[in-house]
Amino acid sequence: MKVFGLAAATGVLLACSFPRMDWEFLAWGALIPLFFAVFGQTPKRAALLGFTAGMVFYGISLSWVTNTLVNYGNIPTVIAWPILFLLAGYLSAYMALFCFLTVQLSRNHPLYFIALPPFLWTALEYLRSTHLEYGFSWQGLGYSQYLNLPVLQMADLTGVYGISFLIVGVNACLFYVFHPRLRKETPWSRYRTHVSVTMFSVYALVIAYGWSVMNAHEEKPVKPLKVAMVQGNIPQQMKWDPQYKQEILNTYRELTVKAAVSGPDFIVWPEAVTPFYFLNDLEGTTAVVTLADELDTPLLFGSPRAEQQGGKWVSYNSAYLLSGDGNIKGRYDKIHLVPFGEFIPWQSVLFFLDKMVVGIGDFGRGEEAMVFNLNGYRFAVSICYEITFPDLVRRPVDNGAQFLVNITNDAWFGKSAASYQHISMAALRAVENRVPIVRAANTGISGAVDRLGRITPTTELFEREVLIASIQPRTGPATLYSRFGDWFCYLSLVISAALGLTAWRRTRPLSSVRPTTPPDGPPT
């Protein structure tokens, strides 16, 4: 059972690396216990150990899911916890596959055992994060470093996945350097210096690049944009209750008038802020349009909308930009929907969920990564969950967007770590594309992120507040990541296959190289 304790330790250390604990330094050694546990094991046993580590990690860091399901989805607690278990199990399957392939392909040959993991992890993390409907980028390893600004800067080349690669590589090298048997036995002992030098050289290059970017002169300065973010803090149970419609509109009117006093270039409201379908509700639509006209200030806001398609009404989660005279200047329809929140997957099997979760229903999917124009600048919008998908966010930047706006409603998360995890991912999107990001939430966390990933002072959870930020739109060329997307992940997929095939052909069978230690524990 000792090896399972080591696997569980990896899960705990990983969980503590992310918000709200924010002990990001732990990530650089969090996988070492897992490597000790799986080295010398059979591939099947290694997979079980990887699954154990994953269940601990995701079970702790995603525990907020139960709060969302129980308090806002009206799902009984006895069902909410199994749903969390299934989600954690799905994500842990990737960690199990990572351990299985590391052992299976390397045949526990020490050098291949440390060379394969960075590429395998990156490839698998990419695969679980990018599926159009069911991808889940949350808690990717690289996000743990959102406060580590020097390391963060490499994301403009490789995306967040390059940071995950670096973390796994450092863990693997440290495992090799400190493993008692590999420190003493030849020929492995002679490679310790090479491994150490390689590890520190790569890490030093990343840090040097980060510092050079952070200390470089700003791009050609342009007139900054002053943005007002309005956080209305409307309780979830009030949003769609008709008796609160006017109260919600009054709240946002008062806060927006307050925001306009500072003379912002435009004002941002959160996701689905209107308690009605924009353009389908005459009274509500008139109130919003009139407000923009009165204040003579462009207004971006989220609202559901509905249109008839094939004889039936289809709803969309949308964002609208109104000009200072109240005219509609553009609309974006959300592309990546939230499973179980905005559509029900596998409806023929999960037919009962439309009765279990109040208000749940299938939304239509947007098709275009819309780029808006404002005061001579171009920007794009992501809605809530979409900010967690690197490739989706980079597309409009590659098409000319100079800054990004993220509108969200984090009231679903309650007072949990989820809102902090959510905004940490926005920091990576800003660095990947070298554009500032403005974020307006119904309740926490509203704020702005600059091109270096620095999160400016933000609102707190469950506060009614107006926040003013000055942002510097991008003027230089698009980053390598913005232009070419997940090239580093494709490379990792290819190298994983090539390195695995090479290791498989050149190493002896697993049993002949397995360390002479008891199968229930690592060398001591």
Could you tell me if residue 519 is inside a domain? no
Residues 497 and 470 in one domain: no
Local confidence band at 69 (pLDDT 50, 70, 90 cut-offs): confident
Could you tell me if residue 520 is inside a domain? no
pLDDT at position 222 is 77
Write out pLDDT tens, residues 354-393.
534 444 456 888 988 899 999 899 999 999 989 999 999 9
Residues 301 and 445 in one domain: yes
Residues 500 and 385 in one domain: no
Statement: residue 522 has pLDDT above 70: no
Q: Which letter does DSSP use for residue 267 in this model?
A: E
Cis peptide leading into residue 187 (ω within 30°): yes
pLDDT at position 142 is 97
pLDDT at position 357 is 41
pLDDT at position 358 is 46
Write out pLDDT tens, residues 426-435.
999 999 999 9
Strands 225-231, 465-471: parallel, antiparallel or unpaired by DSSP? antiparallel
Local confidence band at 347 (pLDDT 50, 70, 90 cut-offs): low
Residues 448 and 490 in one domain: no
CATH code for the domain of 380: 3.60.110.10
Write out pLDDT tens, residues 133-147.
778 889 999 999 999
- Spatial neighbors of 493 by CB under 8 A, at least 6 apart, are 123, 126
Residues taking part in catalysis: 271, 334, 384
Could you tell me if residue 518 is inside a domain? no
Statement: residue 521 has pLDDT above 70: no
Could you tell me if residue 522 is inside a domain? no
Residues 392 and 489 in one domain: no
pLDDT at position 312 is 85
Could you tell me if residue 523 is inside a domain? no
Could you tell me if residue 137 is inside a domain? yes
Residues 453 and 493 in one domain: no
What is the chain's mean pLDDT, rounded? 90
Local confidence band at 247 (pLDDT 50, 70, 90 cut-offs): very high
Local confidence band at 263 (pLDDT 50, 70, 90 cut-offs): very high
Residues 31 and 141 in one domain: yes
Residues 261 and 167 in one domain: no
Write out pLDDT tens, residues 487-515.
999 999 999 999 888 887 776 554 444 44
The predicted model gives 334-343 an average pLDDT of 78
> Beta-carbon neighbour count of residue 78 at 10 Å?
8
Q: Which residue has the higher pLDDT, 237 or 102?
A: 102
Could you tell me if residue 245 is inside a domain? yes
* 3 state SS for 391-455: HHHHHHHHCCCCEEEEEECHHHHCCCCHHHHHHHHHHHHHHHHCCCEEEEECCCCCEEECCCCCE
Local confidence band at 287 (pLDDT 50, 70, 90 cut-offs): very high
- Return the exposure string of 355-380: e unless at least 16 CB atoms fall within 10 Å of the residue's CB, then b: eebeebeebbbbeebbbbebeebbbb
Residues 332 and 209 in one domain: no
Structural domains counted in the chain: 2
Residues 197 and 229 in one domain: no
Could you tell me if residue 287 is inside a domain? yes
Residues 418 and 496 in one domain: no
pLDDT at position 181 is 86
pLDDT at position 361 is 52
Residues 80 and 190 in one domain: yes
Local confidence band at 74 (pLDDT 50, 70, 90 cut-offs): confident
- Spatial neighbors of 267 by CB under 8 A, at least 6 apart, are 227, 228, 229, 230, 256, 259, 260, 295, 297, 298, 299, 300
**For tokens 């969309």, what's the residue?**
316
In angstroms, the Cα distances linking 484 to 4, 159, 240, 336 are 40, 10, 42, 20
Look up the domain containing 470 and give its range.
225-475
